[in-house]
Amino acid sequence: MKKKINRKKFLKSAAILGMGAGFLSSCSNKDTSSDIAAPSLITTKKYKWKMVTTWPPNFPVVGTGAVKYSEWVNEMTNGQVEIKVYGGGTLVPALEVFDAVTSGASEMGSGASYYWAGKNPSLQFFTTVPFGMNAQQMNSWLYAGGGMELWRELYAKYNLVPFAGGNTGVQMAGWFNKEINTLEDFKGLKMRIPGLGGKVLQEVGGTPVLSAGSEIYTNLERGVIDATEWIGPYHDYLMGFHDIAKYYYSPGWHETGSNLEIIINKRLYDGLPKSIQSILEAAAYRLNAWALAEFEAKNNEYLQKIIKESDVEIRQLNSEVLEGLFQVREKIINDLVNKDADSKRVYASYSKFQKDITDWSKFSEGLYHKVMTSRS
């Protein structure tokens, strides 16, 4: 009986809303030629800003995406806002983007929040969590699950306003010159890997190394590192890792849907007209959608190129290794949230949303994926 009553209430409410919409529509069709127009504020002030990035100059998607963002903003503001993009290391070192934008040395930046974990460990949750949410789920948390509000609140402490600026999707586990069959195989391994994934590697006996993208190939070739993760087949191919590594492992347990960011100096942002603030945000939405589409469109194409053009062995981490890494991940996060109040608050939101959306996925995306992969 209760379900019937609720359904009747819903239908009744819908009918009332429909009548209201019709009424408003009819009202809006009246002659307004005699109405007095409200004055509008028009500003012609020009803004010439700099955007520093953590990415190699003009590197596909992550670097060129920043350039596209600047072009879109310029178009939408009819030339009122000009943003000059600087690749990592050309104006400031790649891993000093956060500080440059905080201080106002640069008005904007493009990077990923886990690079700034040394500033505040909670920030890395806004990029990715090992065995965490995928790109679709991450966007849902940010835009509709309270994630963006937490992100803005925390970044405000550093005079920053963040926007989601692209997502890589599920990455690969990385490039290795030794087989990984057990957790023991990570011991003594020097690997370029950022964020919480690096903490997991350290816990199982490896040494995480944080380096800018432009330095990875040389470091791997010279033996400064023994292994590296980067992004996925498209970008990994362009970096040439298949020429200097024997094994290419999946899945990217450490980066299951890495959210990238556009950051803006908050004092400068707050001083902008609302119309320009809205344009900067709208362009970030566009970048977020475009970047993920590019990653998804290119990755399989370039995986096939790696297979055909090199002797690299494509491997999957076995279930024993993945389960071991997951258990270590649980310990790392528990230790972190028990020590840091910001991390505890952010992860409480993140983990609850992940649980809820995973429960839904059992009936939607997850189930559909099982059906389709069984047919291929």
What pLDDT does residue 14 have? Answer: 44
What pLDDT does residue 370 have? Answer: 84
Parts of the chain with a pLDDT under 50: 1-5, 7, 10-41
Helix axes 195-203, 319-339, angle to 10 degrees: 110
Q: Let me know: does 239 contact 217? Beta carbons within 8 Å.
A: yes
Q: Let me know: does 174 contact 193? Beta carbons within 8 Å.
A: yes
What pLDDT does residue 35 have? Answer: 43
Amino acid, res. 301: E
What pLDDT does residue 191 have? Answer: 97
Residue 163, C-beta contacts closer than 8 angstroms, at least 6 positions apart: 261, 262, 263, 264, 280, 281, 284, 288
Which residues in 195-241 belong to E strands, given as ranges? 207-209, 227-228
* Three-state SS at 58: coil
- pTM (two decimals): 0.86
Q: What is the Cα–Cα distance from 110 to 164, expressed in whole angstroms?
A: 10
Sequence spans of domains, the chain: 45-358
Q: Let me know: does 333 contact 200? Beta carbons within 8 Å.
A: no
What pLDDT does residue 371 have? Answer: 86
Considering only CA atoms, give the Rg of the chain: 24
Q: What is the Cα–Cα distance from 156 to 164, expressed in whole angstroms?
A: 15
Sheet holding 108-111, edge to edge: 81-86, 47-53, 108-111, 259-265, 160-167
What pLDDT does residue 26 have? Answer: 40
How many CB atoms are located within 10 Å of the residue 26 CB? 9
What pLDDT does residue 42 have? Answer: 56
What pLDDT does residue 94 have? Answer: 93
Residue 17, C-beta contacts closer than 8 angstroms, at least 6 positions apart: none
Quickly list H helices, 87-186: 97-103, 135-144, 147-156
For 16-72, write each residue's pLDDT tens digit: 444 444 433 444 444 444 444 444 445 689 999 999 999 988 899 999 999 999 999
What stretch of H or E contains 113? none
What pLDDT does residue 27 have? Answer: 41
What pLDDT does residue 125 have? Answer: 97
CATH superfamily of 45-358: Bacterial extracellular solute-binding protein, family 7 (3.40.190.170)
Q: What is the Cα–Cα distance from 93 to 54, expressed in whole angstroms?
A: 8
